[in-house]
Amino acid sequence: MKVIWNSEIVERSEVRIDPEDRGYQFGDGIYEVIRAYNKQYFCLDEHIDRFYSSASKIEMHIPYSKEELKELLNRLLVETGVHTGNVYLQMTRGISSPRNHMYPDAAVLPMLTGTMTSVERDADQMSKGIATIVTEDIRWLKCDIKMISLLGNIMVKHEAHKRNAEEAILHRDGIVTECSSSNVAIVKDGKIWTHPDGNLILPGITKIVWKKCAEKLGYPVIEKPFSLDDLYDADEVFCSSTTIEVMPVCKIGNNVLFDQVPGQVTMALQKAYLHEIE
């Protein structure tokens, strides 16, 4: 399979990563996951903008223009022949040799890689929903940076897996933030609540899309912190991300709290989202 390696598209077997690459040693890097449907990227500009924004928040210089990055990604799509799938794009700060916490000087080039995987939409799961657990948000305080150091996210995802769930809903002192790899929203009396953007959550691209859909459908979206009590009292709960789109939650811990999954509002958003990608 072809992959992106710096400014080239090469065979995966040709890629060489140095053992002193800072991504490998420090988790010093950023990433994006971008979905392609029918041989076209969805929300490519938004993902590229967020990639640049993550880079600037850690003072990492991307030595490519946005147009060059898009061109590379488009070439990857053509050369892999993937119809519907996900690209994982990552940039690390390059090599510090010998190992040194300090940012290297500007002459050290970052390392860009991108891999494409063919993945169909999981309509079955989207109609059944996912089981979740609730656990403490153990991550750091800059969750708006889409960085590759994801140990906190991985640990809570693993906890969910051990408890037979697909996703972990996270809270800080009783305030729901987001999930291990998605944003979360609740529906109460026809209104949608979700945590405001800021340093405690990743500003989701999927969230931008479903918010637009909600606006068109006439559902008010309230971007204010809400509590665990609000979560348990919700009429509907859904998660959102590039890979799972608008995914209903069918269970929280051992409790099945909802009469119908997906609920009316979630289902309307799913339909509107599908319309956006078609």
Catalytic residues: 31, 146, 178, 202
Binding to ligand PDD in span 25-84, by CB under 6 A:
33
Start-end of H helices in 81-189: 123-128, 151-162
Nearest to ligand PDD of 109, 119 (CB atom) = 119
Report the residue from 36, 87, 131, 205 that binds ligand PDD according to the rule CB under 6 A: 205
User: Omega before 248 cis (within 30°)?
Assistant: no
Q: What x-and-dash track marks residues 227-256 binding ligand PDD by CB under 6 A? A: -------------xxxx-------------
Report the residue from 113, 132, 182, 270 that binds ligand PDD according to the rule CB under 6 A: 182
Q: Are 1 and 9 in contact (CB under 8 A)?
A: no
Strands (E), the chain: 2-5, 8-11, 29-37, 40-41, 85-92, 111-118, 130-136, 167-172, 175-179, 183-188, 191-194, 221-223, 226-227, 236-241, 245-252
Q: CB of residue 148 vs ligand PDD: minimum separation in angstroms?
A: 10
Instruction: Give the interface size with ligand PDD as a residue count (CB under 6 A).
Output: 15
Distance, CA of 278 to chain centre = 21
> Binding of ligand PDD at residue 186 (CB under 6 A)?
no
> Binding of ligand PDD at residue 183 (CB under 6 A)?
yes
Residues near ligand PDD, by CB under 6 A:
33, 153, 178, 181-183, 202, 204-207, 240-243
